[in-house]
Structures are given as structure tokens and as C-alpha cells.
Amino acid sequence: MTTAMIRWVRGFVGGVLLLLALSGCHEAWQALRTMQPQPVFAEAEEEAAVAGDAARGAALFREGVGDAPGCVGCHALTQTTWSLAPVMEGVGARAAQRVEGLSAEAYLEQSITDPSAYLVPGFRNIMFPQYGEHLSEQNLADLITYLMTL
């Protein structure tokens, strides 16, 4: 066989192999194009709500936690002649009406962790601003559970 024939055979075999490879790619491409996308469902892992304990919440209300003062320093439990902050008696019922779209519990959480978000008319923003940093999720649940009993 001459050198020219060897080159021709190599070219022919290479061309055939290239066509086979491309036809395989074409079939794979066609299969990918005709595949129907399948929806991906991410399972929503709902956070289990922390159950609050009213007795622990009452202690937090009186004593505070860490450097955070107790709520009783400014909030009276029952109506008095004067109060630095809103009276807590019946706070659960009032809290449900304070901010449209917020449940009583959500409003109380917002009021504790972000006290400037909503100010009750007639009161100034004097609340300790870092309760959100000092109260754990459990502390917050306990305090809100207690407030809802008043």
C-alpha cells in the first residue's frame, strides 16, 4: 500500500468514526430535547414552633434576663393612675387589633424585638431596644405565652 492510500484509509476510517460519534451525539441531543421537564418539589421543612411556658414568661416579665430589664419596670399589670408604658391587662386582645395583618402573638414579638416598629398612641419609645438580642427563642415564646394570659 502506498502512503497516499494509507492516508486515504485513515481519513475514511476517521470520517466514519466521526460520523458515528456525531450521530450518537445527535440522538442524545434529540432525547434531551424531547424530555419533559420534571417539577422539583422542595420539601418545606416547617420550623416547629417553640412552645411557651407562662410561668417562665411571668418570671421574665418580672426579672428580665441578663442585662435586659424586666418588663414590670415600665408596664403595669393592671390599670393604675399612671404608667410609663401600656398596661398589660388584656394585652392579648388589644394586640390582635394593633397592626393590620399581624396576629396578637406576631405583634407582641415585633413589639418586644423591634419596639420602634409601632408605638401605641400616647406613649413614647422608651422600651429597652435590645430585647431581641438578649432573649432566646424560648424566652420570647415564654414571655408571649404569659402576656397572652393577661
- pLDDT of res. 48: 59
- The domain locations on the chain are 54-149
What local confidence, expressed as pLDDT, does residue 13 receive? 64
Distances (CA, A) of 40 to 31, 37, 67: 20, 9, 47
Q: What is the pLDDT of residue 127?
A: 94
Q: How many CB atoms lie within 10 A of CB 78?
A: 10
Rg from Cα positions in the chain:
35
Looking at residue 75, what is its pLDDT? Answer: 93
Distance CA 17, CA 104 (A): 73
pTM: 0.66
Q: Which regions of the chain are under pLDDT 50?
A: 43-46
Which CATH number is associated with domain 54-149?
1.10.760.10
DSSP 118: -
